[in-house]
Amino acid sequence: MTRFVTLEVADAVGTIRLARPPMNALDVAMQDQLREVADEAAAREDVRAVVVYGGEKVFAAGADIKEMQRMGYTDMVARGGALQDAFTAVARIPKPVVAAVTGYALGGGCELALCADIRIAAENAKLGQPEILLGLIPGAGGTQRLARLVGPAKAKELIFTGRMVRADEALRIGLIDQVVPAEEVYQAALDWAGKLAAGPAWALRAAKEAVDRGLETDLDTGLAIERSLFAGLFATEDRTTGMRSFVEEGPGKAKFN
């Protein structure tokens, strides 16, 4: 089987690379490979942070519409869970994840970017959820993750109209977190991931879980999740290393394994 999604590892950073020219259309095979690679990145101890990257020209321009056109209701009932599971596998990688967005991130491409913790985009990037123009709605998490990120009103406006937003607007509404020249996107993402790869892995894992799980529930339950994770970190070497370094050397000098 042709590999459209691969995991490359260097200096504790894993790059999930999409490579299905010309537009990285996310067909069924690519979705399944994305889930496999995300699970691998989650499990590998030599991967401490992750970059999701579609290449210099495009992140991912959406689903494979020709493939989808051949599918009926029962096909999508059978496939819909696997589609969402592929994207959720990326969102649940228990390590910092950054999306390096170049060119188009539309439909499934935008939904994939939403699964990252941070999104760094090129100045020429365009993002959106144009499914409404096909008589559909986002089906890989877009209605849920977009609303949680930019708020329900803005999410509805983008989903209802299907319009694309340029990088400057995406930054303004909180859809992306940083805009850089196109040729600097991947390196900027590697730099961000590399800094966190050198951090306390268990604390970063707990922080991500606390925020993500807390957003899914009420405040009291979220505080209980935070309390449990906070206490659990007192059983880790990360906490021992961090506190010893703070007392002996001052803040910000700890070196974590």
* 184: pLDDT strictly greater than 80: yes
The whole-angstrom separation of Cα 52 and Cα 119 is 9
- Is the residue at 177 inside a domain? yes
Q: Which CATH number goes with the domain that contains 211? A: 1.10.12.10
* 74: pLDDT strictly greater than 90: yes
- Is the residue at 150 inside a domain? yes
Looking at the fold, whether 194 and 86 belong to one and the same domain comes out as yes
* 155: pLDDT strictly greater than 90: yes
- Is the residue at 58 inside a domain? yes
Q: How many residues does the chain have?
A: 257
Domain that holds residue 238: 201-249
Write down the H helix ranges in 141-182: 142-150, 152-161, 167-173
* 1: pLDDT strictly greater than 80: no
Looking at the fold, whether 132 and 225 belong to one and the same domain comes out as no
203 token code pair: 């604390």
Q: Quick one: pLDDT at residue 167?
A: 98
Q: Quick one: pLDDT at residue 3?
A: 94
Looking at the fold, whether 208 and 128 belong to one and the same domain comes out as no
Q: Quick one: pLDDT at residue 28?
A: 94
Last residue of a domain, one of 180, 198, 216: 198
Looking at the fold, whether 183 and 220 belong to one and the same domain comes out as no
Q: Give residue 257's pLDDT band: very low, low, confident or very high (50, 70, 90).
A: confident
pLDDT tens string 114-152: 999 999 999 999 999 999 999 999 999 999 999 999 999
Q: Which CATH number goes with the domain that contains 190? A: 3.90.226.10
Residue 37 CA, distance from chain mean position: 13
254 token code pair: 């700890």
Looking at the fold, whether 21 and 140 belong to one and the same domain comes out as yes
122 has which bridge partners? 180
Looking at the fold, whether 167 and 238 belong to one and the same domain comes out as no
Q: Quick one: pLDDT at residue 243?
A: 94
The SS3 assignment for 106 reads: strand
Residue 79 CA, distance from chain mean position: 21
Of the candidates 131, 183, 184, 248, the residue annotated as catalytic is 131
Residue 147 φ then ψ, to 5°: -65, -40
Per the annotation, the verdict on 111 as an active-site residue is yes
Per the annotation, the verdict on 131 as an active-site residue is yes
Last residue of a domain, one of 179, 198, 217: 198
Q: Quick one: pLDDT at residue 252?
A: 87
214, containing H or E segment: helix 201-215
Looking at the fold, whether 187 and 230 belong to one and the same domain comes out as no
- Is the residue at 255 inside a domain? no
Looking at the fold, whether 161 and 180 belong to one and the same domain comes out as yes
The total number of structural domains in the chain stands at 2
Last residue of a domain, one of 177, 198, 219: 198
- The chain-wide mean pLDDT, for the chain, equals 96
Of the candidates 8, 56, 111, 157, the residue annotated as catalytic is 111
Looking at the fold, whether 227 and 191 belong to one and the same domain comes out as no
Q: Are residues 105 and 176 in contact, defined by beta-carbon separation less than 8 angstroms?
A: no
- Is the residue at 130 inside a domain? yes
- What DSSP character marks residue 90? H
Looking at the fold, whether 87 and 212 belong to one and the same domain comes out as no
Residue 212 exposed, middle or buried by CB count within 10 Å (0-12, 13-18, 19+)? middle
- Is the residue at 49 inside a domain? yes
102 token code pair: 């170049």
Q: Give residue 227's pLDDT band: very low, low, confident or very high (50, 70, 90).
A: very high
103 token code pair: 């060119």
Other beta carbons within 10 angstroms of residue 182's beta carbon come to 16
- Is the residue at 172 inside a domain? yes
231 token code pair: 């206490």
Other beta carbons within 10 angstroms of residue 99's beta carbon come to 30
The whole-angstrom separation of Cα 136 and Cα 144 is 15
Looking at the fold, whether 217 and 176 belong to one and the same domain comes out as no
Q: Give residue 204's pLDDT band: very low, low, confident or very high (50, 70, 90).
A: very high
Q: Quick one: pLDDT at residue 191?
A: 97
pLDDT tens string 18-58: 999 999 999 999 999 999 999 999 999 999 999 999 999 99
Cβ burial 125-149 (10 Å sphere, 16+ → b, else e): bbbbbbbeeeeeebbbbbbebbbeb
- Is the residue at 256 inside a domain? no
Q: Are residues 60 and 104 in contact, defined by beta-carbon separation less than 8 angstroms?
A: yes
* 179: pLDDT strictly greater than 90: yes
Q: Quick one: pLDDT at residue 115?
A: 98
Looking at the fold, whether 60 and 100 belong to one and the same domain comes out as yes
Mean pLDDT of 158-181: 98
